[in-house]
Amino acid sequence: MAFTAADQEIANIAAGLALDAVEAAGHGHPGTAVALAPVAHLLFSQHLKHDPADPAWSGRDRFVLSCGHASMLLYAQLHLSGYQLTLDDLKHFRKAESQTPGHPEYGHTPGVEMTTGPLGQGLATAVGMAWAQQHLARRYDPTEQNSPLLSHVYVIASDGDLEEGVTSEASSFAGLHQINNLTVIYDDNQISIDGDARASFNEDTAARYRSYGWDCVQIELLSTGAIDVTALDLALTKSRNSSKPTLIALRSAIAYPSPNMTGMAATHGSPMGSSEVAATKSALGLDPALFFQIPESAAKHQQQMILRGTELRASYNAAMNNYQSREPQLSKQFQNLSNLDLSSIQLPSFDQGSSLATRKSSQQVLEELAKLPQLVGGSADLSESNGVAAKSLEVFHGSDETFGSPAGRRILFGIREHAMAAFNNGVALASPLRPFGATFLIFSDYMRPSIRLACLMQLPVVWVFSHDSIGLGEDGPTHQPVEQLWALRAIPGNSLIRPADANETAAAWIEILRRAKPAALVLSRQNLPTITSNPDVAKGAYIAYESNKSPQAIVIATGSELHLAIQAASELAEQDIAVRVVSAPCLEWFDEQDEAYRSLLLTGAPKIAIEAGSAIGWYKYVGTDGKVIGVDDFGASAAPNYLFEKFGITTANLIKQIKELI
């Protein structure tokens, strides 16, 4: 379809709304929202498959505004397309409790597919979104090239997005695996906050993306200074039929058609001022004296977009009916993905007295969990070490079947921890699949921005972190996590689970999947004795050892330190010293319990915590009069037993500290 004068009028109205919203707020990012208004209008009105009446429609395409600071670009389109986002919502842009926060927030504003703002996250997450849709079509409708299960993902990204390393990781992965239902419009406006972006970013971006295995289209500005919407329209149409992901490098002039501020860095993050707003409105053909203009043409466009959504839904429903006739069994399996049924899972039984690293017991559990069709995931080049090389999960590869199947569920992410985390966020956002990603705990630092966004959006993503302490030994302080446990616990909405043995590990997996929220499962490299039989992991903490007398001390332990605590309590019992041992695999789940339960575990005696990591957060539980045995240094390259002795993570030191405490 052609981009008509009527289309340009609606795009100009969207630009005017962006100008007014930023001006009314007194802060914001108007330049990109004004310049790219025709781009967003073209996407929403002619290319994006969506239904304003049902933002959660499963058959929709996804749009991700990776440069989330330009949020008014998205909000204006949502309003003009007929979503439940009112003109009053636009007038309250960036105000407290509004539907239009400064950066788009998933679950807060209808039509927002993910929370964006940290640059690079949107594009990297979109790779996971596109993979999830492609994966579902390959698994559940493998013979149909134009399956209704296969939707498209569109991204608008900025220079800043492409400068961030996470997009390089994710784009490399997308190109390698030919994730071809992904189109990225790169807003090449050559402007950054510091001024001319070429001062810090002057590479041949198209050549880089071609080397990744992408199709690349470069579109220059028209002689008028306007975006070449016709060329963009053709590129978008072509991208839907490509065998590769597509990057459209689109030249634009920030703030165009502002008479005096087009191309100026000042328009990136500040209001343009009332006089320039008025002048820009005049250039757009709008009345400079009117604010938040919604002429009759805009109202008519809203109705047209709602009707378009209804028609797209009808077409999709017909295609789904045909799919159900073609593939009755597969279509039923696809429909059942929305229900995670844990009743069929038969967890392995781990006998007390046996010894096994929790990463190894986790792998045995994962082999059973692979029965769940929703489970997908992999490791950042550490599959065997992390214990996620489940033999019953077929390896995925999107372009070369000598390495894996295009419908495989176990993903070899390569050494791309940051992209792996963002990718899994995308899978969780765009499908009923339940993703996991694995690496060493120390490398959670590389993943932290994506983990934080997963928690902000409350996505059911599981991070499997093995090699959880100085217990990994000779690899030394660069690989021995110290502060990472509390760093992950500090993220609101995250649950960190550090099981003490194989049975706690099995119970943790079930509870993580049942809760369907962000979770970090932290596992040992070294063997640990199996000391529990029916651990109450779901409550986050429980009494693992109790003498017959009222406790004189309470020891709280996690992970590899629980067996030390139980051994210490047992030895002290022979000396007529009563010690209660509380296993606390997940402090977040424990904090959810009522006060009566928490008091039952932690009152009545002075407390001491033991964990082979930073001590910083434990005083919340032991109090200022309590003690913490931890590791507040970087470790060393030595055998694990030597290191535990060096840092006092031993039964003998625990006994000594308990006696001093009481």
Contact 97, 108 (CB under 8 A): no
Q: How far apart are CA 263 and CA 32, in angstroms?
A: 10
> Which of 49, 52, 98, 93 is closest to 73 using CA atoms?
93
What residue spans of 370-461 are helical by DSSP H? 383-386, 417-430, 444-457
The CATH homologous superfamily of the domain defined by 5-10+36-68+113-264+273-309: Thiamin diphosphate (ThDP)-binding fold, Pyr/PP domains (3.40.50.970)
What pairs with residue 436 in β-bridges?
A: 377, 462
Contact 507, 556 (CB under 8 A): no
The pLDDT score that the predictor gives to residue 358 is 98
CA angle 521, 525, 531 (to 5 degrees): 75
Distances (CA, A) of 340 to 14, 272, 535: 42, 51, 23
Q: What number does CATH give the domain 538-661? A: 3.40.50.920
Q: How far apart are CA 580 and CA 53, in angstroms?
A: 57
Q: How far apart are CA 394 and CA 479, in angstroms?
A: 30
What pairs with residue 410 in β-bridges?
A: 377, 395
> Dihedral, CA atoms, 73, 126, 84, 80, nearest 10 degrees?
40
Residue with tokens 């390259």: 637
Q: How far apart are CA 197 and CA 226, in angstroms?
A: 20
Q: Give the pLDDT means over successive 10-residue stretches in the chain (662 positions).
A: 92 98 96 98 98 97 98 98 97 96 98 98 98 98 95 97 98 98 96 86 95 98 96 98 98 96 92 96 96 94 97 97 97 97 92 95 97 98 96 95 97 98 98 98 98 98 97 94 98 98 98 98 97 96 95 98 98 97 98 98 97 97 97 95 96 98 94
Distances (CA, A) of 483 to 357, 472, 584, 611, 617: 22, 15, 18, 11, 10
Q: Determine if the peptide bond prior to 257 is cis (ω within 30°).
A: yes
Its pTM surpasses 0.95: yes
Q: First and final CA of the chain: distance in angstroms? A: 80
Among all residues, which ones are annotated catalytic? 417
Domain 355-529 has CATH 3.40.50.970: yes
The pLDDT score that the predictor gives to residue 195 is 83
Q: How far apart are CA 158 and CA 119, in angstroms?
A: 8
The separation between CA 141 and the C-alpha centre of its own chain, rounded to angstroms, equals 27
The pLDDT score that the predictor gives to residue 194 is 86
In the chain, CATH 3.40.50.920 sits at: 538-661
Contact 151, 137 (CB under 8 A): no
In the chain, CATH 3.40.50.970 sits at: 5-10+36-68+113-264+273-309, 355-529
CA-based diameter of the chain, in Å? 90
The pLDDT score that the predictor gives to residue 31 is 96
Q: How far apart are CA 167 and CA 422, in angstroms?
A: 10
Q: Tell the burial category of 328 from Cβ atoms under 10 Å away from its Cβ (0-12, 13-18, 19+).
A: exposed
Q: How far apart are CA 58 and CA 324, in angstroms?
A: 16
Q: How far apart are CA 244 and CA 247, in angstroms?
A: 10
